[in-house]
Amino acid sequence: MTIAKDELVSYDVDRVRADFAILSGTMRDHPLVYLDNAASGQKPRVVVEAERAVYENEYANVHRGLYQLSQRATERYETARRVVRRFINARHPHEIVFTRNATESINLVAASYGRNFLQAGDEIVLTELEHHSNIVPWQMLRDERGVVIKVVPIDGRGEVPVAALTRLIGPRTKLVALAHVSNVLGTILPVAEITRRAHDVGAKVLVDGAQAVMHLPVDVQDIDCDFYAFSGHKLYGPTGVGVLYAKEEVLDAMPPYQVGGQMIETVTFEKSTWAPLPRKFEAGTPPIAQAAGLAAAIHYVSTLGLKHIAEHEHQLLTRAYQRLSSVPGLTLYGTAPEKTAMVSFTLDCAHPHDIAQVLDTGGIAIRAGHHCAQPLMARLGVPATLRASFGLYNTLDEVDILADGLERAVKMFT
C-alpha cells in the first residue's frame, strides 16, 4: 500500500485492515478479533511479498558470492540494515546488528559485554516491570561473575519513579537495563532521562524496545542509550529477525558473541581474526529474506506515520477504558498517563485462563498468563492477568466486542 503524505488527513482503519489478509477471516465461526499484538503483530501483504520476492527472484547467500545473484541479495540485505538505521536514527549502518529477536539481542550484550566488562561487585539496575528476557540473562551473569542486581520498584500506577531509580544508581552501577515500554502495563518509561542519570555515574544503558518501536518514534541518538534491542515480528515484520543497536565504540570493544562462518577475517589453526562491524556479530548465514521483510514492515508503518498510528491507538485505549470500567468485578492494572494501547486486568469471577477460553469461543484472541513477567505479577499480587493489546488495524468496534464478551463471561461464571 502506498499512501501520499497529503492523504493522511484522517486514519482510514478499514483501508489499513485490507492490507492484512488474516483479518478478513473467521475463528470459531466468528470474525477474528485479534488483540494479542504485544505478543506478535500480524503481517501486511507487503511484508509477505517482500519475503516471497527474495525466495523467488533474488535468493543467494550474502557477502560471499562474486556472482551477480549473490551481489543482489547482499545489496538487499544491506539496504535493510540502512532502513533500520534511519528508522531509529542510529549514526551508522554498522551500528545495526541483525539477530533473531530482542531476546537474542539482550543475550548478546550479556554474553559479550557483560562477561568481559563486568566484575564481581559491579551493579546492574533493572526495574520491577521487566520481561524475563531482560532479567534472566543478568541473573546468569550474577551467578557466573558475582555482579549484583538491584531492582527499582514501580508505583501504584505502574510507573517507574525516576527518583527511586536515581537512589539505586551509584558508583558501583555499571549497567542499567530497562524496558522502553512495559509488555504488561503499557507504561512508557522516560528512557532518555534515565540514560542521562546513568551516564552521570559512568554506567551503560540497555533499552529493551520490543514493545516500543511499533507504537512511537525511537531516536537512539536522542535517548543516547548504549544498546537498544527490538524484534521484527512485533513490528508487523517476520519472525526470525531482530535488531541490536549499539554505539560503534562499544561494539568495537566487545568480542564476538558467536563464532564460525561469516564473522571472520582470517582463520588459521593458530589464530583467528574478526570481520569488521557489524559482521563480527553475525555468525553464520543471516536472516536474508527476513531482513527484507523487516525493511518492508518499517516502510509500511513509516508510510502510515507513527504519529497517526499513535493517535488511532489512543482512541482505542480511551474506548477500552470507558467500556471496561463498566464490567462487573474487573480490576485494571497499569494506569500511567504515558502508556501505549494495552490493558491488563483480572475479573474476580474466574481465572484469566478461563476467561480467555470463553472469549476464544467468540473469535476473540486475547492473552492470559504471566506474560513472561512473573516478578511483576508478584508485585501486582496476582498469578496472571488478561491482556488486550491493540495495534494499528484494530477498531473501536473490536473494543466493544471485547467488552461485550467480558460481560458475557461474567454472567457465565456468576
pLDDT surpassing 70 at residue 334? yes
pLDDT on residue 6: 39
pLDDT on residue 56: 97
pLDDT on residue 3: 39
359: part of which helix (H) or strand (E)?
helix 352-360
pLDDT on residue 71: 96
> Residue 4 — very low, low, confident or very high, per pLDDT cuts 50/70/90?
very low
List, for residues 127-186, the tens digit of each pLDDT value.
999 999 999 999 999 999 999 999 999 999 999 999 999 999 999 999 999 999 999 999
What does the DSSP assignment read for 262-292?
SSEEEE-SS-EEEPSTTGGG--SS--HHHHH
Cα(161)–Cα(168) distance, rounded to whole angstroms?
11
pLDDT on residue 64: 81
> Residue 15 — very low, low, confident or very high, per pLDDT cuts 50/70/90?
very high
Cα(58)–Cα(121) distance, rounded to whole angstroms?
51
Nearest one of 360, 75, 37, 408 to 186, comparing CA atoms: 37
Class (C level, CATH) for 5-31+305-413: alpha beta
> Residue 9 — very low, low, confident or very high, per pLDDT cuts 50/70/90?
very low
Mean pLDDT, residues 117-130: 98
pLDDT on residue 65: 87
Single-letter amino acid, residue 51: E
> Residue 338 — very low, low, confident or very high, per pLDDT cuts 50/70/90?
very high
List, for residues 366-404, the tens digit of each pLDDT value.
999 999 999 999 999 999 999 999 999 999 999 999 999
List, for residues 71-107, the tens digit of each pLDDT value.
999 999 999 999 999 999 999 999 999 999 999 999 9
β-bridge mates for residue 98, sequence order: 243
CA 79: distance to chain centroid? 22
> What CATH code is assigned to 49-302?
3.40.640.10
Task: List, by residue number, the catalytic residues.
Answer: 372
List, for residues 216-255, the tens digit of each pLDDT value.
999 999 999 999 999 999 999 999 999 999 999 999 999 9
> Residue 267 — very low, low, confident or very high, per pLDDT cuts 50/70/90?
very high
Domain map of the chain by residue range? Answer: 5-31+305-413, 49-302
Strand, helix or coil for residue 364:
strand
List, for residues 141-155, the tens digit of each pLDDT value.
999 999 999 999 999
Residue 35 in contact with residue 366, Cβ under 8 Å?
yes
Q: Is the dihedral of CA 374, 378, 384, 387 positive or negative?
A: negative
pLDDT on residue 295: 98
Neighbours of 156 (CB within 10 A): 8
Give the β-pairing of 123-127 and 173-179: parallel
CA 273: distance to chain centroid? 33
